[in-house]
Structure 1
């Protein structure tokens, strides 16, 4: 399945998938902040021929206060996960979840940032018009090479704290405002950051809003270009959705602060802002 498309947009719909049958690998990335099992959800019903990739095992490194809850994994760990899922360097990957792509965005960002062809299935599992399957496909191990994470697309905690950059927080507004935080030690946000909740990129069905509405959402927050923009969230997962939306809008490629609030919140020497 070596039909990699270097010009693939970050989001595709099911019609694109139907028109390119056999030319991509479909990946189920369901994962839940409350610890529910994405694999159980996959086993209960998934889009036919989709393979499952586990966020905690293959798309994240070990959690720590210094690195956050979902740091990027060692590149070799990621490569091994892709090989075990039957993915090759030259494959096009279409990833989906049941959350409008805000989870699938992590895998898609990881693949695109290392030069691979990948996109989010717009609308996720609900956009598939047929019967879901319970049987997992037969997988032949892929040939997928390890590449270092590109420094040009990453930001560290000092850069995310600097007024030299536009910093955008993808978390829900109540967490950004500091009303509550169910998982991280301090409520609030990085001083100077603006809030574009990634779930507000979606309509009620979990599909992307029209591009003019998406563009307006970012412009209201002062984001007109991804250049000099750093995105973060709780732990570097849903922030990828904002970055991919900006790329879809033609605004370029911003940078990801992977540690996010789960790293910043533990850095008690750094100030916190609330609404």
Structure 2
């Protein structure tokens, strides 16, 4: 069986040690960029490798980009191979933030043509709550070759977002908290507010109290009501920097609403150009 959206703790536990499965720890903190790697070293799911959001899953910031520009996909492909991920691997990604960071690698792999990748539902927190194995032993990795088949239609740039909103052909969904969306708080970026015309769906709303995703039928009902007349393929997601927006893409895929896209630069790129609109409230 192939897993392409979510995998449960019990399903992953049953496959630990499978030679064709690769687990990647994606823990990260925007407040402390070393916290994720430190947490990995103090204890991780057996055989897991570590992927750093800044170093592995993003490229260098420039004057025109957001805070987490898309990576150089050739460089990322080499990293995937170095982690032992081939085009035939079943990949499982996790974090300690209910998928907020792991969703980025889930989305990147799909954009590179790799469908057999799933987010661990509930992450390492739920894994620990179930009393499942944690280790400090670093995995023995057999490097291989990963060949990317990049699908550039899976993301939009700022111009495509502007044009889509101007012609009412695009539904843009902002994954940030309501306070950040409304411009009442902005702890990270220099400008508060949201892209004019964007709707708000905080990624936290995809989750139950235990940190696992809501049932597919519940997610489907919620997103269908939000989208209104728009088909899933006409939807794009943004957040602060193109990371947690992937959580909403994942939630829509879980719900069977397939084909939504990522505005990769997101809010932190949008505000680089003072001619672009800013909405508040």
TM-score (norm 2): 0.90
Alignment of 1:168 onto 2:176: no
Please, which of 190, 194, 198 is the counterpart of residue 193 of structure 1? Answer: 198
CA positional deviation for 1:215: 2.4
The runs of 5 or more residues in structure 2 that have no matched partner are none
CA positional deviation for 1:159: 2.2
Q: Residue 220 of structure 2 contacts residue 256 of structure 2 at CA under 8 Å; is this kept in 1? A: no
- Partners of 2:24 and 2:64 lie apart in 1 by 30
Q: What is residue 9 of structure 2 aligned with on the other side? A: 14
CA positional deviation for 1:236: 0.8
With over 3 angstroms needed to count, the CA separation of the structure-2 counterparts of 1:222 and 1:80, relative to structure 1, is same
Q: What is residue 24 of structure 1 aligned with on the other side? A: 21
Q: What do the CA deviations read for 1:166-207 (whole angstroms, capped 9, x no partner)?
A: 000111111111011111121010101001111111122210
CA positional deviation for 1:8: 2.8
Q: Residue 79 of structure 1 contacts residue 146 of structure 1 at CA under 8 Å; is this kept in 2? A: yes
Q: What is residue 118 of structure 2 aligned with on the other side? A: 119
The runs of 5 or more residues in structure 1 that have no matched partner are none
Mapping for residues 62-211 of structure 1, pairs under 5 Å: 62-116=60-114, 117-128=116-127, 129-148=131-150, 150-161=151-162, 162=165, 163-211=168-216
CA positional deviation for 1:57: 1.4
- Partners of 2:4 and 2:77 lie apart in 1 by 23
Q: Considering only aligned residues, what root-mean-square deviation do their CA atoms show, in Å? A: 1.7
- Partners of 2:160 and 2:183 lie apart in 1 by 22
Name segments (4+ residues, structure 1) moved above 3 Å. Answer: none
Q: What is residue 34 of structure 1 aligned with on the other side? A: 31
Mapping for residues 253-268 of structure 1, pairs under 5 Å: 253-268=259-274
TM-score (norm 1): 0.92
